[in-house]
Amino acid sequence: MSWLERLRRFKGNPVHGKEFRERFRLRRTVWIMTIYLTVIGAVMLGFMYLELMDQSVFVPGEYRDFFIIFSGLQLVMIGFLAPGLSAGAISGERERQTLSILLTTQLSPLSIIGSKLISSLAFIGFLVWMSLPLYSFVFLFGGISPQEVATVFLFFVINIFFFGSLGLFCSTWMKRTGVSTVTAYAVTFLIVAGTGILIYFWAHFAAQLDWDLDHMLSFQLFVSLNPVYAFLTIFEDQLRNETMLKIDPWLIYACFYTAVSLLLIFGSAYLLNPLRRSRRKNDIIKN
């Protein structure tokens, strides 16, 4: 089958449509949207209120922290929602006893995984898109360049893609949605907090041994894989300048986790294939 035909089939894949239809018919979806906007809006507006209530003079450009905090909050929500939403994509089909039927259709395991991922990620993307009006409050205060805004949104896309792929992989690997969700959150925690703790110990250990961490490539690369650090380097020139790396840490983060996401997607497709073993071609007999 040609790549064009594969692309045409992927475009006509019915899984996205079914997933959107099913998701938006659930009352739970409305609650997720409401809670997402309420939490993110309340925290942001509350923070703004506390920061500004004692200020008598408004200086444009000095309030870029609002944008960073608001974006950080979005990142936390993405890390919280993306694995959870995709962790039931395949195991849910298995639990509903619909997976075997789906696998007997002409949809390939890769197209099933791809469309499941797209539908999960599209919903999270939709949540971020919904929060754009809240960003308008932050933009009022200025201090952020369009390039920083674009970079932050690209960073969100990469995180959505990675955490979604992680959840999907767990969902394909584990039989039960409960187990896959817990595993996906545990790995997310390890990536966020685990790498942070390791960096902390590494830094203290290095300080005792008088190691120059600013010129230690392995440490610089490892630090770049922490989402919080990578996120902060988008805004903080000082953090970027401290490193000996030629490229921005957030770019290393983006490249590494995009590659891991692709591995997770292909790994999921491999695990989903019920006939995963080498194939011998030209094996047709006359009926």
Partner 1 sequence: MIRTQQLTKHYGKTKALEDLNLHIEKGQVFGFIGPNGAGKSTTMMILSCLLLPTSGTAYVGGYNVLTHPEEVRQLVGYMPDFFGVYDNLKTTEYLDFYAGAYFIPKSKRPGLIADLLELVNLSNKKDAYVDSLSRGMKQRLGLARCLIHNPEVLILDEPASGLDPRARIELREILKELKRMKKTIMISSHILPELAEICDQIGVIEKGRMLACGSVEEMALRVKGIHVLLVRVLKERERAARILEEHPQVKQVDDQRDHLRVMFTGSKADQAALLKYLLAEEVPVVDFSADKENLEDVFLAITERMGS
CA distance 281 to 188: 41
Q: What is the CA angle 123-40-239, rounded to 5?
A: 95
Shortest distance, CB of residue 111 to partner 1, whole angstroms? Answer: 10
CA distance 221 to 256: 10
Check residue 271 for interaction with partner 1 (CB under 8 A).
Answer: no
Interface segment toward partner 1; rule CB under 8 A; list 5-13, 70-78, 214-222, 223-231: 5-13
Shortest distance, CB of residue 104 to partner 1, whole angstroms? Answer: 5
Check residue 4 for interaction with partner 1 (CB under 8 A).
Answer: no
- Complex with partner 1: residue 77 or 107, whichever CB lies closer: 107
Residue 20's CB is within 10 A of a number of other CB atoms, namely: 15
CA distance 180 to 165: 12
Binders of partner 1: how many residues, by CB under 8 A? 35
- Helix 249-272 vs helix 227-235: crossing angle, to nearest 10: 140
- Complex with partner 1: residue 93 or 243, whichever CB lies closer: 93
Shortest distance, CB of residue 109 to partner 1, whole angstroms? Answer: 11
Q: Give the CA distances from residue 97 to residues 75, 90, 93, in Å, rounded to whole numbers and listed in that order.
A: 34, 11, 6
Q: Which of residues 211-270 bind partner 1 (CB under 8 A)?
A: none
Q: Give the CA distances from residue 187 to residues 80, 83, 92, 113, 258, in Å, rounded to whole numbers and listed in that order.
A: 12, 10, 20, 20, 16
Check residue 27 for interaction with partner 1 (CB under 8 A).
Answer: no
Q: What are the backbone angles phi and psi of residue 100, rounded to the nearest 5°?
A: -60, -40
Q: Which H/E stretch holds residue 58?
A: none
Exactly one of 53, 57, 61, 106 binds partner 1 (CB under 8 A); that residue is 106
Structure tokens at 184: 């996906």
The residues near 69 (Cβ < 8 Å, ≥ 6 apart) are: 44, 47
Shortest distance, CB of residue 132 to partner 1, whole angstroms? Answer: 28
- Complex with partner 1: residue 104 or 208, whichever CB lies closer: 104
Exactly one of 26, 45, 186, 190 binds partner 1 (CB under 8 A); that residue is 26
Single out the residue of 128, 119, 130 nearest to residue 156, CA to CA. Answer: 128
Check residue 279 for interaction with partner 1 (CB under 8 A).
Answer: yes
Check residue 208 for interaction with partner 1 (CB under 8 A).
Answer: no
Interface segment toward partner 1; rule CB under 8 A; list 104-112, 171-179, 217-225, 250-258: 104-112
SS3 state of residue 54: coil
- Complex with partner 1: residue 103 or 154, whichever CB lies closer: 103
Shortest distance, CB of residue 110 to partner 1, whole angstroms? Answer: 13
Exactly one of 9, 64, 176, 240 binds partner 1 (CB under 8 A); that residue is 9
* 85 in Cβ contact with 94 (< 8 Å): no
Shortest distance, CB of residue 266 to partner 1, whole angstroms? Answer: 19
Interface segment toward partner 1; rule CB under 8 A; list 15-23, 34-42, 165-173, 258-266: 15-23
Binding site for partner 1 (CB under 8 A): 9, 12-15, 17-18, 21-22, 25-26, 96-98, 100-107, 274-277, 279-287
